[in-house]
Structure 1
Amino acid sequence: MNIIEWFGKHFIGLFEEGGKQFTELFTSIVPTLVVLLTFTYAMIKFIGEERVTKAIQLTSKYTLTRYTIMPMLSILLLTNPMAYTFGKFVDEKKKPAFFDSLVTFLHPVTALFPYANAGELFVYLGIANGIQKAGLDTSELAVRYFLIAIVIMLIRGFITERITAYLYKKM
């Protein structure tokens, strides 16, 4: 087999494997994503957009909720990258800390809510694949990711808020 034949065979083989992977994702994760997203938007409609907005404004008042509940709601309700728009409810001096806590949560959220940040889904699926091959349960991993992310985003939000306050004083 000459080099041109080899290249042609392997070049198209690359796309065939990509097509198989796409089909597998489309028949496994895509329906779940669509149902989760539909459920989220239905809940917003059921509760009412005004009530959801008031709840978000309330969560921005307190440090504990600003760096835990608020980032979770923004990602689950709006997904990435629209989740950043919840920053409009935060005081200007606290926005860096809010964004820090928000981005901390963007990867771990995909374990339980894959629609929230689809770009990170492939990272989680790679890790989950290794966990499955080791004979372990991925649902346990997903819950642990989610819970530890809440703790870490609170810590990062609090620390970043203090650093920002210090820098504002120096200016």
Structure 2
Amino acid sequence: MDFIVSIAQGITGFFSAAGESFMGTAASIVPLALIALTVLNAIVALIGEDRFDSASRKLTKNFFARYTLLPYLANFMVGSPASFTFGKYLPEKYKPGYQEVCTRTNMAPMMCLFPHVNPGELFVWLGIFNGVVTIAGERAGATLAVATFALAFCTSSFIGLVVEKMTMFLAKRQGVDFNQIEKNKAEKVYTEDMT
């Protein structure tokens, strides 16, 4: 009987600890995400949606800005998975590289410093961070967070460019014409505006 009681207490303790962790996360991450969204909406309202869209499209012409600045800005402002919406400013041929950088290259490193970016995977980072802090101290944990962020920031343009080149190679091999796709998109938008 004591065995069953100890199992029940363990399960209850687990759910209690999970609830405390959830409330701690909800109290810290949710307000941060809401403030980031509010700032983004304020920026868009101040400069106007058309100007914001135009500036974002200009930002995507340079590969460094396309695969570093835009994904980092998107992840910081709206987090995962909404950061994909910033891909609308890109021509189709650049979207695979952007998606790669947005989801894989910079999501976890950004989460090291800004937990609101992807709270669903925060437990992984916190496990690693707590292990490093336990072994080497808080300074080592902070150094790991900053180094991870800096490394991803430096490599994201390279990774995006590699994916872009792979996309071009595979598109050419399959006979995909990105110029025709862009032309079809423009015609579709034009005909929708006419109706």
With the shorter chain as reference, the TM-score category is 0.7 to 0.9
**Contact 2:108 2:118 (C-alpha < 8 Å) held by counterparts:** yes
**Residue matched to 1:64:** 64
Query: Could you say if the C-alpha distance between residues 46 and 25 of structure 1 is closer, same or farther in structure 2, counting changes exceeding 3 Å?
Result: same
**Residue matched to 2:115:** 114
Q: Does 1:147 align with 2:133?
A: no
Q: Does 1:159 align with 2:168?
A: no
Max Rg structure: 2
**Distance across 2 between alignment mates of 1:112 and 1:40:** 19
**Distance across 2 between alignment mates of 1:140 and 1:130:** 13
**Distance across 2 between alignment mates of 1:126 and 1:46:** 41
Residue type at the aligned position of 1:150 = F
Where 2:164 maps in the other structure, the secondary structure is helix
Displaced runs of 4 or more, over 6 A: none
Larger displacement relative to structure 2 (48-57 or 149-158):
48-57
**Distance across 1 between alignment mates of 2:114 and 2:46:** 20
**Contact 2:29 2:119 (C-alpha < 8 Å) held by counterparts:** no
Q: Normalising by structure 1, report the TM-score.
A: 0.82
Where 2:118 maps in the other structure, the secondary structure is helix
Q: What is the number of equivalent residue pairs in this alignment? A: 171
**Residue matched to 2:13:** 13
Where 1:61 maps in the other structure, the secondary structure is coil
Query: Could you say if the C-alpha distance between residues 48 and 128 of structure 1 is closer, same or farther in structure 2, counting changes exceeding 3 Å?
Result: farther
Query: Could you say if the C-alpha distance between residues 38 and 127 of structure 1 is closer, same or farther in structure 2, counting changes exceeding 3 Å?
Result: farther
**Distance across 2 between alignment mates of 1:159 and 1:34:** 34
**Superposed displacement of residue 33, structure 1:** 5.4
**Superposed displacement of residue 142, structure 1:** 2.2
Where 1:67 maps in the other structure, the secondary structure is helix
- 1:20-39 aligned at under 5 Å gives the runs 20-25=20-25, 38=38
**Residue matched to 2:173:** 170
Query: Could you say if the C-alpha distance between residues 93 and 116 of structure 1 is closer, same or farther in structure 2, counting changes exceeding 3 Å?
Result: same
**Residue matched to 2:133:** 132
Residue type at the aligned position of 2:169 = Y
**Superposed displacement of residue 36, structure 1:** 5.4
**Contact 1:100 1:153 (C-alpha < 8 Å) held by counterparts:** no
Larger displacement relative to structure 2 (126-135 or 46-55):
46-55
**Distance across 1 between alignment mates of 2:144 and 2:102:** 20
Residue type at the aligned position of 1:13 = G
**Unaligned ranges ≥5, structure 1:** none
Query: Could you say if the C-alpha distance between residues 33 and 89 of structure 1 is closer, same or farther in structure 2, counting changes exceeding 3 Å?
Result: closer
**Residue matched to 1:55:** 55
